[in-house]
Structures are given as structure tokens and as C-alpha cells.
């Protein structure tokens, strides 16, 4: 057992120590987000649901935890030239905010099709925007040029141990807030969030179940687990703009070994979950943030005998950055 435990802590990009260090590093900057519950929503799936509301985190998403940990991990000599990223969304805003708090510049390559409210967030937090075309290649190329020009440090949105450790602080908080949680449902995109949450939660309670929630139209994690290798898709089709990335080499091993299952979710189910979050929880939740609720309400989860013992379920509501007009449009399309 001791050998196993040593292996466990060594073979992934983060562990309970690095996650606890991250918690100390970010605690004067990040919010301890509240956990909401609703008996109405509980009654829809016959379990107790605990919503860990990262939409109330600074920047409106969990991303601030990882970004803040990464930025405050840098040596002064590294930090002074600034940081660079080519995430289109919440990571970019979070990185801009964390950089502002450290007093260093953040250069953000943003594709032209990024959601308006996410671009506004980057601007609000003082990030310097460099526009690129929408394709990943264009974004990466533009970022490379910015790195050369500035001498800054690239902070990848998920394939980075400091980012994974920061996201893992969610589990430390959640399991202190609601100790009886036996299952956590986590959105899966590049895998930084689910890797951190899983490594922390399974270290605290090895029997806890971790289920990923992934859009059907961007199911690289489910496919990867099925065949045992990282799959990269030729294209993705989902309204969940935060869940279109693919697993990286640091996040894949955690998803492969420690995530119990990936539940696939249709966009229509995501939209219905967004409506329930708004109407019943009174919370603005972006598509990526609502996918966990969508997963527990799906028959694939509710009727699966493997999960009948999941009684107290933590749901990571990962972010709330959704333009109101876009939400209204989705709900109209989704319900009519």
C-alpha cells in the first residue's frame, strides 16, 4: 500500500502537497466560493446535490485559481516580462487579473469569434489583447510571435502542473464545506479542472467517485478513455465554448487512471440545465458551467446501476460568463 501511495503522488503533474501549497498561495486573492443547494433540483434526480459555485469566483470562473497559482509561482526575474496565453475565454481573463494583482503585463491572443463578455472581462482586468483568426493554428502562431516579441512566459490554460494544482483547491474547499460528498461531477475540456479536483479529492477520500461531464460534440475525453490513448478531434460542435479543448499529456493520465467515467451530454440538455440554474438556483451559468447538472439529470446517470449509491453529489459549476442575450437566445431555441 505504501508503494502504491508513493507511485500515486509521483506520477501526476500535481499532488495533494502542491494543491495545498496552491491554496496557501492564492488564499488572500481568491474567493472561497459558496455551495448552493435546492430541494427542487434534488427532487428531479433523487439525490442531494451541492453546487460549488465557481461562477462567483473572481473573473466569473474557476480559472482564477490556477492562473493565480501559476503567476505567483513565478520567480521575479521570470515574471517581470509578463505572461502570454492564447486561451479565448475564462483563463485569459483570470490570467489578466492575476497578472494585474502581481503588477506584471498579461498578453492575451484572442480569436475573433470569442464571446463578447469574455473579451470584456480580459479588458476589464487590464489584459492586452492581440487578435487572431479563430483556428487553433492561427492562435498558436500569433502567441509564438508575442512570446518572441515580449520575452514573456507562456501560461498554458491546463497542461501545466501549477494550473492543475490551483484548480485542485476546489476539492479542498468543497470537502470541508460538505464532508459527506461521495461523488463529484466535473466538466471536462482540456482536463486541468478535473485533474486538480480528482487528485485532491481522491487523496482526501480514495473512495470518492469522480465523473466527468463532456459535450457529445466534443467527446475527446470519452473517446480517449475508450481506446486508451489521447484522441484529438478534427472538429467540435457544441455550444459549450469552454469545453472544446482536448486533453493534454499532463491531464490525460489523471483522466485515464482516476476519473471513474465520462458522461456525455447533448447541447439541448445543457440549455435546459442553464434554464434550471437561472430559474431555480438564481445563478447565471455559462453552458460549460451547467453541464454537470445536465449530466446528473440525464437518464445515462440516473438509471445507471453503477451510480445508484451516489447520494451526495458535488457539482462544479465552473463559470458564469454568458452574455444575457445569448442565454435568452439559447433558451428560446432550446425550448421552442
Active site residue 88: yes
For residue 146, report the phi and psi dihedrals to the nearest 5 degrees: -65, -40
Closest to a second copy by CB, 193 or 285: 285
Closest to a second copy by CB, 14 or 35: 35
Closest to a second copy by CB, 141 or 323: 323
CB of 229 to a second copy, least distance (A): 37
Phi-psi region of 314 (alpha: psi -120 to 50; beta: other; left: phi over 0): beta
Q: Report yes or no: 116 and 123 within 8 Å, Cβ to Cβ.
A: no
CB of 282 to a second copy, least distance (A): 3
Length of the chain as a residue count: 336
CB of 325 to a second copy, least distance (A): 7
Active site residue 18: no
Q: Which of 87, 88, 96, 195 is catalytic?
A: 88
CA–CA distance, 23 with 19 (Å, rounded to integer):
6
- Estimate to the nearest angstrom the gap between the alpha carbon of 133 and the chain centroid: 24
Cell of 97: 487579473
CB of 115 to a second copy, least distance (A): 12
Residues 6+ apart with CB under 8 A from 82: 99, 104, 105, 106, 107, 150, 152, 153
List the one residue out of 285, 157, 222, 193 whose CA is nearest residue 201. Answer: 193
CB of 266 to a second copy, least distance (A): 21
Closest to a second copy by CB, 31 or 311: 31
Q: Which of 48, 52, 58, 63 is catalytic?
A: 63
Q: Report yes or no: 29 and 45 within 8 Å, Cβ to Cβ.
A: no
Q: Binding residues for a second copy, per CB under 8 A?
A: 31, 34, 36-37, 39-40, 55-56, 58, 60, 117, 124, 275, 278-279, 281-285, 320, 324-325, 327-328, 331
Closest to a second copy by CB, 37 or 229: 37
For residue 74, report the phi and psi dihedrals to the nearest 5 degrees: -70, 145
Q: Report yes or no: 291 and 215 within 8 Å, Cβ to Cβ.
A: yes
Cell of 189: 475540456
Residues designated catalytic? 63, 88
Amino acid at each position: 500500500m505504501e508503494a502504491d501511495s508513493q507511485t500515486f503522488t509521483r506520477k501526476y503533474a500535481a499532488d495533494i502537497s502542491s494543491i495545498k501549497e496552491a491554496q496557501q498561495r492564492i488564499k488572500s486573492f481568491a474567493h472561497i466560493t459558496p455551495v448552493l443547494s435546492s430541494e427542487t433540483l434534488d427532487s428531479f434526480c433523487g439525490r442531494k446535490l451541492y453546487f460549488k459555485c465557481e461562477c462567483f469566483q473572481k473573473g466569473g470562473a474557476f480559472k482564477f485559481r490556477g492562473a493565480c497559482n501559476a503567476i505567483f509561482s513565478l520567480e521575479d526575474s521570470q515574471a517581470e516580462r509578463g505572461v502570454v496565453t492564447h486561451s479565448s475565454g475564462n483563463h485569459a481573463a483570470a490570467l489578466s487579473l492575476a497578472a494585474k494583482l502581481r503588477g506584471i503585463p498579461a498578453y492575451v491572443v484572442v480569436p475573433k469569434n470569442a464571446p463578447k463578455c469574455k473579451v470584456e472581462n480580459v479588458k476589464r482586468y487590464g489584459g492586452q489583447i492581440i487578435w487572431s483568426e479563430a483556428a487553433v493554428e492561427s492562435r498558436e502562431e500569433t502567441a509564438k510571435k508575442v512570446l518572441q516579441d515580449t520575452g514573456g512566459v507562456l501560461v498554458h490554460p491546463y497542461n501545466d502542473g501549477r494550473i492543475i494544482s490551483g484548480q485542485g483547491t476546489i476539492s479542498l474547499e468543497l470537502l470541508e464545506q460538505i464532508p459527506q460528498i461521495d461523488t463529484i461531477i466535473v466538466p471536462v475540456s482540456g482536463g486541468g479542472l478535473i485533474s486538480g479536483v480528482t487528485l485532491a479529492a481522491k487523496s482526501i477520500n480514495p473512495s470518492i467517485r469522480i465523473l466527468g461531464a463532456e459535450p457529445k460534440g466534443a467527446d475527446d475525453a470519452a473517446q480517449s478513455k475508450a481506446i486508451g490513448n489521447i484522441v484529438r478531434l478534427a472538429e467540435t460542435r457544441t455550444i459549450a465554448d469552454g469545453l472544446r479543448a482536448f486533453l493534454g499529456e499532463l491531464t490525460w493520465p489523471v483522466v485515464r487512471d482516476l476519473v471513474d467515467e465520462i458522461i456525455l451530454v447533448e447541447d439541448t440538455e445543457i440549455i435546459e440545465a442553464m434554464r434550471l440554474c437561472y430559474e431555480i438556483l438564481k445563478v447565471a451559468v455559462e453552458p460549460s458551467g451547467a453541464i454537470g447538472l445536465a449530466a446528473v439529470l440525464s437518464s445515462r446517470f440516473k438509471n445507471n446501476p453503477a451510480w445508484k449509491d451516489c447520494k451526495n453529489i458535488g457539482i462544479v459549476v465552473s463559470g458564469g460568463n454568458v452574455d444575457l442575450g445569448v442565454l435568452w437566445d439559447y433558451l428560446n431555441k432550446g425550448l421552442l
